[in-house]
Amino acid sequence: MSLNIAKSNKKRVVIVGGGFGGLKLANKLKKSGFQVVLIDKNNYHQFPPLIYQVASAGMEPTSISFPFRKIFQHRKDFFFRMAEVRAIFPEKNMIQTSIGKAEYDYLVLAAGTTTNYFGNKHIEEEAMPMKNVSEAMGLRNALLANLERALTCSTKQEQQELLNIVIVGGGATGIEVAGILSEMKKFVLPNDYPDMSSSLMHIYLIEAGPRLLAGMSEESSAHAEQFLREMGVNILLNKRVVDYRDHKVVLEDGTEIATRTFIWVSGVTGVTIGNLDASLIGRGGRIKVDSFNRVEGMNNVFAIGDQCIQLADENYPNGHPQLAQVAIQQGELLAKNLIRMEKGQEMKPFHYRNLGSMATVGRNRAVAEFSKVKMQGWFAWVMWLVVHLRSILGVRNKVIVLLNWVWNYFTYDQSMRMIVYARKAKEIRDREKVEETTHWGKELIQEPKQHSPQEIQQASEQEKK
């Protein structure tokens, strides 16, 4: 297999990941004189702030997703490949992907994060994550299927397990999920399931720390907690989940909560690259970079967004917050710095401009912070709507999302409550097996340091044959 991209006389920039940072970088490199190659495991850009609305059946996944090939139509010197990066060989200016190897002049890692289970393998197997559109669709199916099952199950115990929802993680995603499920309980269940009392559904939000929204002020945290409690959400603070067994979430103090809907949004960790040295990985699994977002010890390898941690900014000694604005600003500056490098000019260091943060709890309820201004309630909710609507890609998507919001607001109804399980075709399943077991794609990652340069060269020649 090969990426099948001919090397031109232009310098090649390979971007791994088409999230906020990678997309901004690719767009800013238009007409820059570079050949740009974007690699992502999906063929679309997704809008993470609204993924929870897909999970709650309030929005179609296509409304918050946009195909890369549509974004970059008619773009010269641009190539997209759907693949995953398995290893980096900086001494050869080469990466190994699931579909073959690719050379680069500049490499930018912008693959973002994945769910962090803090080493608990059993919870990883049992819990339902919600980090991307695919996982949100799985969670939506599970929620709706559990409601259907609750009508027909044989015992009260099983019914209660099906109707108890436990959300672990009191960050923005956690409170947004808890809020929208509370609204679903209040407005949807009485109409869709009139023969089942909505009072049987219980929503639990568990946070290991002393308050919700740890990244925002205590004032905003207190308002978010108040909103959720008024909406009927059971909030458990200073409680750590240690296990899930026999359809019960187990807390550190021995308390158990029966549930078959166990949602884990407790934290994230940087997406790993198979053979990166452990010394390059910092807090939260993020790749260490300097003030120019250059990976430590590498001249032409960069990392931006949630996947990197920069400790050079004195205003953020523990690294920048993992927010969309950080990734966007880093992508924009890096595009300028790459052009400066080609012109022999000095690069400019990155300094984050904090444009504020916000989180919605539900209808007419949100919290927002902009510099020294803090707001909550209806006005913060309207601000949240405007900011997120502006950030969605594509006019069609903006219109659909706006219409969905207007419809839901006036009808109190989320109309896409269908249980659909996608099944991969045999051809796709077989191809994925081959990609997972290929010698170059697997063995080099498992034992990257046991291969001599001669062995790598032989493997490369074998692949060409």
Q: Name the average pLDDT for the chain.
A: 90
Alpha helices, DSSP H, located in 184-323: 189-192, 218-230
Q: What is the mean pLDDT of residues 329-338?
A: 97
Taking only the tens place, the pLDDT of each residue in 136-163 is: 999 999 999 999 999 999 899 999 999 9
10-40+82-113+267-341 and 123-265+362-409 share one fold: yes
- Report the C-alpha dihedral over residues 171, 177, 181, 183, rounded to 10 degrees: 80
Domains of the chain by residue range = 10-40+82-113+267-341, 123-265+362-409
Calculate what percentage of the chain has a pLDDT beyond 90.
75
- pLDDT tier at 456 (50, 70, 90 boundaries)? very low
Please name the fold of domain 123-265+362-409. FAD/NAD(P)-binding domain (3.50.50)
The Cα angle at residue 450 between residues 446 and 456, in degrees rounded to 5: 90
Task: Please report the sign of the dihedral spanned by the C-alpha atoms of residue 119, residue 120, residue 121, residue 127.
Answer: negative
Tell me the C-alpha distance between 21 and 115, whole Å. 19
Buried-exposed string 336-352: b where 16+ CB fall within 10 A, e elsewhere:
ebbbebeeeeebeebeb
Q: Is the pLDDT of residue 363 over 70?
A: yes
Q: What is the mean pLDDT of residues 420-446?
A: 68
**Token representation of residue 175:** 């409170």
HSE on the CB side for 98, CA within 13 Å?
18
Q: Is the pLDDT of residue 410 over 50?
A: yes
| Model-wide pTM > 0.85 | yes
Q: Could you say which architecture CATH assigns to the domain 10-40+82-113+267-341?
A: 3-Layer(bba) Sandwich (3.50)
- pLDDT tier at 438 (50, 70, 90 boundaries)? low
Q: What is the mean pLDDT of residues 7-32?
A: 95
| DSSP symbols for 394-454 | SHHHHHHHHHHHHHHHHH--------------HHHHHHHHHHHH-HHHHHHHHSGGG--HH
Taking only the tens place, the pLDDT of each residue in 200-242 is: 999 999 999 999 999 899 999 999 999 999 999 999 999 999 9
Tell me which amino acid residue 238 is.
Answer: N
Taking only the tens place, the pLDDT of each residue in 250-263 is: 999 999 999 999 99
**Token representation of residue 189:** 């269940």
Q: What is the mean pLDDT of residues 312-337?
A: 93
Q: Which residues pair with 88 in a beta bridge?
A: 95
- pLDDT tier at 463 (50, 70, 90 boundaries)? very low
Tell me the C-alpha distance between 448 and 275, whole Å. 6
Q: Is the pLDDT of residue 465 over 60?
A: no
Helix axis angle, 426-437 to 439-446, nearest 10° = 50
Q: Is the pLDDT of residue 464 over 80?
A: no
| DSSP symbols for 240-262 | -EEEEETTEEEETTS-EEE-SEE
- pLDDT tier at 1 (50, 70, 90 boundaries)? low
Contact 96, 441 (CB under 8 A): yes
Q: Is the pLDDT of residue 178 over 60?
A: yes
Q: Is the pLDDT of residue 167 over 50?
A: yes
